[in-house]
Structure 1
Amino acid sequence: MKLDPHHLEMLFAIVDRGGLGEGAEMLGKSQPSVSRSLALLEKRIGIALFEKDRRPLRPTELGLALAAEGRKIHEAGRSSAALLAQYRDGKTGAVRVGGTPFFMDGVISGMLAGFQFARPDVRIDQIYGYLNDLLPRLEDGSLDLAILPMRASIIPEGFDFDQILPGRNVIACRTGHPLARRGSVKLSDIGQYPWIAPPADSPLYQDLRTVLKEIGIRDFKVSFTGGSLSATVNILTGSDALTVLPFSVVFMMRAQRSVGALSIRIGDPDRHLGILTRNDADLKPAAQRVRNHIRQEFDALSSSIIRVSQDMVWRP
């Protein structure tokens, strides 16, 4: 015989609170409705659940056993409601975030760590990729957010792009590099040094070629190519090689005092970092929280970068 879970929960409330009125108050119902439900339950099973003519109510052995099952139903309802509230508030769930490797490793991952410190029950799945890799995953719903540099002119139809940082590249080197110790550095001075090239399919690689073309270098020596940010930094700090990096990445490594930027202004890319999402899909609450967190972190980062940049002497 299958019993109505609501009736079992009602029986638990009566037993737990010691009376019909008290049980009704616990469930937010009227006493007459609870009394009718109890009568229906006893009629269905054909057995009394409370001892007859006893005040206060005293449950029978079966009444206690069924009330114990009702407790499980009541607690499951409460825990389910709590889980739902946490999900709606963005405190639980999984968020799938994609982005270009150097930005994800150099800037975004630290911000995500701060988010998870505050919301440890949100799982973040991170993947690497460029626009051609990430766009199909946004389209099919297997990715929630993509954080990458883009030109305003190529934002796909049906997508929103929330710019979070203007494009800005610098020539990076180790802090003890010979050029970093000079009082004055000219663009012509850097041609003799080898270069670390980002992955060939990355927008940053095109930026490197553009910078070298501006300097007037046609044939340049590449000492290392295609590595991750950590590999690039290891080569950079252990040699006199130079590379082109986003200023924000170099800025985030300033506390390590191992990598710096030459005070030479180079042309800024016509791409800006932003968050790409589908405009026809509602973000899950946790994904909305992550997007807002990244937005706030970049607001603070932009202000810090502007202050530092203003203190630097950028030579043409």
Structure 2
Amino acid sequence: MSTELDWYLQVNLKARHLRLLVTIDTYRNLSQVAEVTHVTLPAVSKSLAELEHGLGVALFTRTGKGLVPTPHGECLTRHARSMLHVLHQARDELQALSAGTEGKVEIGVLPVSASILLTHALNLLKQRSPGTNVKIVEGSAASLLPDLWQGHLDLVVGRLPPPDALGSFEEKELLDEPIVLVTGGQHPLALRKTLQWADLLPYPWILPPIGSILREPLERALESHDVPLTNNYIETVSLHVIRAHLQVSDCIAVMADTSARDTRLPQPLYTLPLSLPRLLRPAGVLWNRVRTLTPSAQLMISCLEETARCLAEEVQ
């Protein structure tokens, strides 16, 4: 069985089989699969039967509500999606080379914690390689890390999550900067030279969402100073929304120090003179250890490293 399965996967499994699996898993109905693939229903049924026969396992169970993947079907479909994504990446790289560009890198970013680092690194990348194109996807660790594992992203940049117990990812620490409390310029506390933690009690907050890597340690730190979070808050990971709302409200927010001190902003933010403990691991970059990094991704990591060194020198 093992030898036959290995032979079939190595020799007979084709890209059309992968596309068939993904399409069936998406629609769970062979008639719809036939319609969207512009193939006759008997041909779709025959292809699925040949695939199951070649593998020696049932991939889908036929029920009154349509096709349901078996455990074997779930396993192979998951890998089929991953393999098709790799093929699409190869197509994009080949097309880029033919068009005279130098490749593409897809980056997931945890926006509140890495915006300045990534912004400067992207500028450096474009100086060094104008033909390297970049796709940026913002999100939480919970949404970005599965995409990184499945190959939908090349890198994830932001505050490093807790060490990966399964060893799925490689990581590189880039910038260890504090988390600070910030307000807009009109806030009653903005220009105070000294503050007590109790001074924060009357004001609303802009918080990272529940489940984000910063929320729980922030709550613990504030509670240790008898500053419980009230029901008066906004939850967002959007740095743009945070900055804009701070300028029109009396909210308090948390932000990485480099983002808070960004001198490019027309309306500066004010850092409150209260020190939080080290809430998070350093900002860094993650990639999937079982996938080979493309030259574009390697160049991006190099630009991130150089940018981090420059930002660290500015703080000193």
Tell me which interval the TM-score lies in, with the shorter structure as reference length.
0.5 to 0.7
The ranges of structure 1 where at least 4 consecutive aligned residues each deviate by more than 3 angstroms after the TM superposition are: 103-107, 151-156, 253-257
Amino acid at match of 2:302: N
Among 279, 285, 308, which residue is 1:298 paired with?
308
Amino acid at match of 2:301: R
Query: Structure 1 residues 187, 93: closer, same or farther in 2, change over 3 A?
Result: same
In the TM superposition, 1:85-104 aligns within 5 A as 92-104=102-114
Query: Structure 1 residues 206, 134: closer, same or farther in 2, change over 3 A?
Result: same
In the TM superposition, 1:156-171 aligns within 5 A as 156-171=166-181
Amino acid at match of 2:219: R
SS in 2 for 1:202: coil
In the TM superposition, 1:209-220 aligns within 5 A as 209-220=219-230
Does structure 2 conserve the Cα–Cα contact (< 8 Å) formed by 1:199 and 1:205? Answer: yes
Find the aligned partners of 2:216 and 2:263 in 1 and give their Cα distance.
23
Does structure 2 conserve the Cα–Cα contact (< 8 Å) formed by 1:138 and 1:144? Answer: yes
Query: Structure 1 residues 304, 156: closer, same or farther in 2, change over 3 A?
Result: farther
Find the aligned partners of 1:110 and 1:155 in 2 and give their Cα distance.
31
Find the aligned partners of 1:227 and 1:153 in 2 and give their Cα distance.
22
User: 1:282 deviation in Å?
Assistant: 2.3
Among 279, 282, 287, which residue is 1:277 paired with?
287
TM-score (norm 2): 0.62
Structure ID, larger Rg? 1
> Residues 1-44 of structure 1: CA distance to partner in whole angstroms, max 9, x if unpaired?
xxxxxxxxxxxxxxxxxxxxxxxxxxxxxxxxxxxxxxxxxxxx
Among 191, 195, 202, which residue is 1:192 paired with?
202
In the TM superposition, 1:124-139 aligns within 5 A as 124-139=134-149
SS in 2 for 1:288: helix
Question: Paired residue for 1:265?
Answer: 275
> Residues 163-221 of structure 1: CA distance to partner in whole angstroms, max 9, x if unpaired?
01125210011134222222321112111111112233322333432332122122524
Question: Paired residue for 1:245?
Answer: 255
Amino acid at match of 1:290: M
SS in 1 for 2:261: helix
Does structure 2 conserve the Cα–Cα contact (< 8 Å) formed by 1:195 and 1:221? Answer: no
Among 197, 206, 228, which residue is 2:238 paired with?
228
User: 1:265 deviation in Å?
Assistant: 0.7
Question: Paired residue for 1:173?
Answer: 183
Does structure 2 conserve the Cα–Cα contact (< 8 Å) formed by 1:167 and 1:270? Answer: no
SS in 2 for 1:275: strand
SS in 1 for 2:174: strand
Query: Structure 1 residues 269, 254: closer, same or farther in 2, change over 3 A?
Result: farther
Does structure 1 conserve the Cα–Cα contact (< 8 Å) formed by 2:112 and 2:237? Answer: no
TM-score (norm 1): 0.62
Find the aligned partners of 1:234 and 1:253 in 2 and give their Cα distance.
15
Point out where structure 1 has 5 or more consecutive residues left out of the alignment. Answer: 1-82, 308-316
Find the aligned partners of 1:233 and 1:255 in 2 and give their Cα distance.
9
Number of residues paired by the alignment? 221
Does structure 1 conserve the Cα–Cα contact (< 8 Å) formed by 2:221 and 2:276? Answer: yes
SS in 2 for 1:180: coil
**Once structures 1 and 2 are overlaid, which stretch shifts more, 222-231 or 157-166?**
222-231
Does structure 2 conserve the Cα–Cα contact (< 8 Å) formed by 1:208 and 1:243? Answer: no
Point out where structure 2 has 5 or more consecutive residues left out of the alignment. Answer: 1-92
In the TM superposition, 1:40-189 aligns within 5 A as 92-151=102-161, 153-154=163-164, 156-189=166-199
User: 1:106 deviation in Å?
Assistant: 4.6
Find the aligned partners of 1:192 and 1:254 in 2 and give their Cα distance.
30
User: 1:253 deviation in Å?
Assistant: 4.7
Amino acid at match of 1:281: R
